[in-house]
Amino acid sequence: MAYKLLIDGNLVDGASTLDVINPANGTVFASCARADEAQLEQAVAAAKRAFPAWAALSHAERRDYLNRLADAVQARETEFVELLTREQGKPLPQAKFEIAGSIVALRYFGEQSFPLETVRETEDGKILEQRAPLGVVAAITPWNFPVALLMIKVAPALSVGNTMIAKPAPTTPLTTALFGEVAAKILPPGVFNVIIDANDLGGKITSHPDVAKVAFTGSTPTGKRVMQSAAGTVKRLTLELGGNDAAIVLDDVNVKEIAPKVFNAAMLNAGQVCLAAKRIYAPRSLYDALCEELAKLAREAVVDDGVHQGTQIGPVQNKQQYEKVLDLIEGARAEGKVLAGGSAVQRDGYFIQPTVVRDLSDDAPLVREEQFGPVVPVLVYDSIDEVIERVNDSEYGLGGTVWTDDPDRGLQVALRIQSGTVWVNKHLDMPFDVSFGGAKQSGIGRESGIDGMKEYTQLKVINIANKAA
């Protein structure tokens, strides 16, 4: 299959091509079109031209387009799922969950609208609020959830009347290109465009004067560069950045019952989740038992190519991240105790044994940094006040979890954690009607929910007097 760019309604070849590697074997399995700066300019110009007519449609008309997109993706769901696993590495059931959720996102956000709202009305006049679309929105997406994180940008942005440029990560461009192929047959020309690069066009997009907003998901260092680049045109920004989420286990739990849940919170998608549990804190009375249970789960986990039935943990998505995670493990080995895993799997591809490390200091890189891989440190604490202080001593503040037999007690701990989301006795429950976003250096703005949709609009206040003054 040819994976092309989508510019002004046309599927086109790139100025060059980009090889795509299957992380399960480390070899090239496909190539796709790669855009140059001239093609980016064409895409932005097309989106700008398409904006007035798209914004002028009724919400019901735009909703119908989004439902048709959802229908078309659903009709090719198996193709999307298999392609997602091949380019990203996650097990097929996780890929199926991502694609199914993406279809729901298109339908859900397509249904939401912002009619003109009356704030106040008196005998002298009234004050109204209008939510107007911004214009051209650029969606820059990462490689860990390349479809889901695109859809929670595309669906709200298009629903409220914006047009779009989508730029996927260079290591996972194919599912975005496939969505572009679907969109080309449904959306008016220019409403949605796909530009694939090798990380060389991002700065052109984020600084472009005709791009009104950038919705970016990725690392905090890259998010800072996006913010700097967008400053020249005072662009609207949504930045969903890195996290170093803490899992706090309280002293009233049954270790055998909660250990699998905490393990899954750390190891889902081979740990490549912004909101994964990246450091686990256990009370001294349960520390040894929890460490051993987590290590046992790590030793028993099935690590394999995501296409194989029964696989629980797939490969790290790309070689650069694979090498970074292995370096973090080696650094942790020198200071702490590796209970399970601790090395690469001796086979082709970017596989790392699920790794559990104990007895690290709070200053260890594996504790301070975002590992984004199948390795987790387990740390001991002696009091709630102490652990909350340690958890909050981070530049990150994306999410976190609390595990307890007493939900009210869990709430009191959650209220003190400095992050955008905290789950109690669950993880990664993210309904589309609830927004999420980061505190501190984990991001700016909200995604999903009504608050996330509002990020794609300009609030306008209209103040009317019944008679001229």
Positive or negative: CA dihedral 46, 49, 53, 55: positive
For residue range 148-171, list pLDDT tens digits in order: 999 999 999 999 999 999 999 999
Q: Which residues pair with 118 in a beta bridge?
A: 128
For the chain, report the end-to-end CA distance as a whole number of angstroms. 66
From 214, 282, 277, 255, select the one nearest 421 (Cα to Cα): 277
Instruction: Tell whether the torsion through CA atoms of 282, 284, 289 and 295 is positive or negative.
Output: positive
Confidence of residue 1 (pLDDT cuts 50, 70, 90): confident
What would the mean pLDDT of 38-43 be, rounded to a whole number? 98
What does the alpha-carbon distance between residue 47 and residue 137 come to, in Å, rounded to a whole number? 9
Q: What are 193's strand-pairing partners?
A: 165
> Could you tell me how far CA 50 lies from the centroid of its own chain?
27
Q: What is the pLDDT of residues 274-290, one digit of tens each?
A: 999 999 999 999 999 99
Q: Which residues contact 354 (CB under 8 A, 6 or more apart)?
A: 267, 297, 298, 299, 301, 303, 313, 340, 341, 374, 375
- For 196-240, the pLDDT digits (tens) are 999 999 999 999 999 999 999 999 999 999 999 999 999 999 999
pLDDT digits (tens, 9 = 90+) for 51-88: 999 999 999 999 999 999 999 999 999 999 999 999 99
Catalytic residue among 87, 181, 240, 293: 240
- Whole-angstrom distance, CA of residue 2 vs CA of residue 181: 10
Chain-centroid distance of CA 419 in Å reads 16
Global pTM value: 0.96
412 has pLDDT over 80? yes
The distance from CA 205 to its chain's CA centroid, rounded to whole angstroms, is: 19
220-240 as b/e: b if 16+ CB within 10 A: bebbeebbebbeeeebbbbbb
Mean pLDDT of the chain: 98
pLDDT tens-digit series, residues 90-137: 999 999 999 999 999 999 999 999 999 999 999 999 999 999 999 999
Portion of the chain with pLDDT greater than 70, in percent? 100
**Alpha-carbon span 411 to 4, nearest angstrom:** 49
What is the mean predicted confidence (pLDDT) over 450-468?
96
pLDDT of the residue at 130: 98
Question: What are the backbone angles phi and psi of residue 409, rounded to the nearest 5°?
Answer: -65, -40
Q: With bands split at pLDDT 50, 70 and 90, how would you rate the model's confidence at 468?
A: confident
Tokens of 239: 């930045």
Q: Give me the percent of the chain exceeding a pLDDT of 90.
A: 99
Mean pLDDT of all residues in 381-389: 98
Residue 265 has pLDDT above 90, yes or no: yes
Q: What SS3 string covers the chain?
A: CCECEEECCEEECCCEEEEEEECCCCEEEEEEEECCHHHHHHHHHHHHHHHHHHHHCCHHHHHHHHHHHHHHHHHCHHHHHHHHHHHHCCCHHHHHHHHHHHHHHHHHHHHCCCCCEEEEEECCEEEEEEEEECCEEEEECCCCCCCHHHHHHHHHHHHCCCEEEEECCCCCCHHHHHHHHHHHCCCCCCCEEECCCCCCCHHHHHCCCCCCEEEEECCHHHHHHHHHHHHCCCCEEEEECCCCEEEEECCCCCHHHHHHHHHHHHHHHHHCCCCCEEEEEEEHHHHHHHHHHHHHHHHHCCECCCCCCCCCECCCCCHHHHHHHHHHHHHHHHHCEEEECCCECCCCCCCECCEEEECCCCCCHHHHCCCCCCEEEEEEECCHHHHHHHHHCCCCCCCEEEECCCHHHHHHHHCCCCCCCCEECCCCCCCCCCCECCCHHHEECCECHHHHHHCCEEEEEEEEECCCC
For the purposes of burial, counting CB atoms within 10 Å of the CB of 309, is it exposed (0-12), middle (13-18) or buried (19 or more)? exposed
Q: What gap in Å lies between CA 86 and CA 178, rounded to an integer?
A: 13
**Would you tell me the crossing angle of helices 284-300 and 255-267 to the nearest 10 degrees?**
60
Q: Is 79 part of the annotated catalytic residue set?
A: no
